[in-house]
Amino acid sequence: MAELVTLSRSQRDRVTYTDPNSNWDAGTYDRFRRLRLRPALDLLAQVPALPDGDVIDLGCGSGAVAADLHGRFASDDRCLIGVDRSLEMLEKARALNLYDRIDEADIAYWAPHAPVALIFSNAALHWLPDHETLFPRLASMLSDGGVMAVQMPRQFDAPSHVLIRTIAEELFALRPSSIGTPPVSEPAVLFDICAPLGQVTIWETEYCQQLPADPDGAHPVRTFTRSTAARPVHSALDPDQTARFFTAYDAALEDAYPRRADGSVLFPFRRQFLILKKD
């Protein structure tokens, strides 16, 4: 049986899905830029014509979708505005010179100065709790005929994410409840939240992603989740604890996601999409 390590109160308090740290590891996150971009482009393809008003890239990160949002919606009459709180990510986004403005802000509390035409959020809102309040609040920021377009991972019950919670519990007495509850509900739940707010289209897609072999020998799924799903856990641990956590995680992933002959793995990943057009 694994030896249990007791964490301090401060370490336990840091293990949440509403991540308290503002500086993301942009390099690790962007390693899978192409795979992370495809759902954003699938979402963008479903955005209908917009009324007058600005376009908000909410949780813009390093600006992965900036070029496509700019190409689709740029005009003299509207601004493309990126919003994020990670300084490291925003430095990369600003360097693109595609946003008319960049706002350093916590997306949980951000609000525009005037109604906007589009709130586009790719893989960000699942970090925030209380979607029953969040989505109506965001919809209220839209102009008449404005659109909210959202993509969120719904991978909580997949082995990649279950193993993070179970290993954290086994090694460090972090109970699953302290690592977060499912951040994204079933489509019917989100539909019921948003249907009173306008015209709603909601769907899910499971992407069968091929993750390449990691040059340092880590399991490819660990490399993918390190900067996202696993981050609330390892950011709460000291370096020795982090190494121990990832050693156990790698071993468990070998059974859940066997490596192919070239060292890559096939990694099914489910994502939920929402288009809301305000009446």
Residue with tokens 């693109």: 96
**pLDDT the model gives residue 19:** 43
> So what's the pLDDT on residue 207?
97
Tokens 């390892």 belong to which residue? 234
- pLDDT confidence of residue 176: 55
Q: Using an 8 Å Cβ cutoff, are 81 and 56 in contact?
A: yes
Which pTM does this prediction carry?
0.85
User: Of 3.40.50.150, 3.30.1490.100, 3.40.50.1820, 1.10.10.10, which CATH number belongs to 29-53+115-278?
Assistant: 3.40.50.150
Q: CB-hemisphere CA count at 13 Å for 111?
A: 8
Average pLDDT, the chain: 89
Q: How many Cβ atoms from other residues are within 10 Å of residue 75's Cβ? A: 9
Q: Does the pLDDT at position 28 exceed 80?
A: no
User: Is the confidence at residue 8, as pLDDT, over 60?
Assistant: no
Cβ(11)–Cβ(176) below 8 Å: no
Please tell me the predicted confidence (pLDDT) of residue 88.
92
Tens-place pLDDT, residues 257-276: 999 999 999 999 999 999 99
Residues 189-238 have pLDDT tens digits of 999 999 999 999 999 999 999 999 999 999 999 999 998 889 888 888 99
> Among 143, 271, 156, which residue's Cα sits nearest to residue 206?
271
pLDDT at position 173 is 84
Q: Helix, strand, coil shares of the chain as percentages rounded to 5?
A: 40, 20, 40
**What pLDDT, on the 0 to 100 scale, is given for residue 180?**
59
Q: Is the dihedral of CA 226, 232, 235, 238 positive or negative?
A: negative
DSSP string computed for 54-75: -EEEET-TTTTTHHHHHHHH-B
* Domains of the chain by residue range: 29-53+115-278
Phi (first) and psi of residue 117, to 5 degrees: -85, -35
**DSSP label at residue 266:** E
Q: Using an 8 Å Cβ cutoff, are 66 and 99 in contact?
A: yes
CB 68 within 8 A of CB 41: yes
Better-scored residue on pLDDT, 13 or 215: 215
Q: Is the dihedral of CA 185, 187, 188, 191 positive or negative?
A: positive
For residue range 77-129, what is the model confidence (pLDDT) as tens digits?
999 999 999 999 999 999 999 999 999 999 999 999 999 999 999 999 998 98
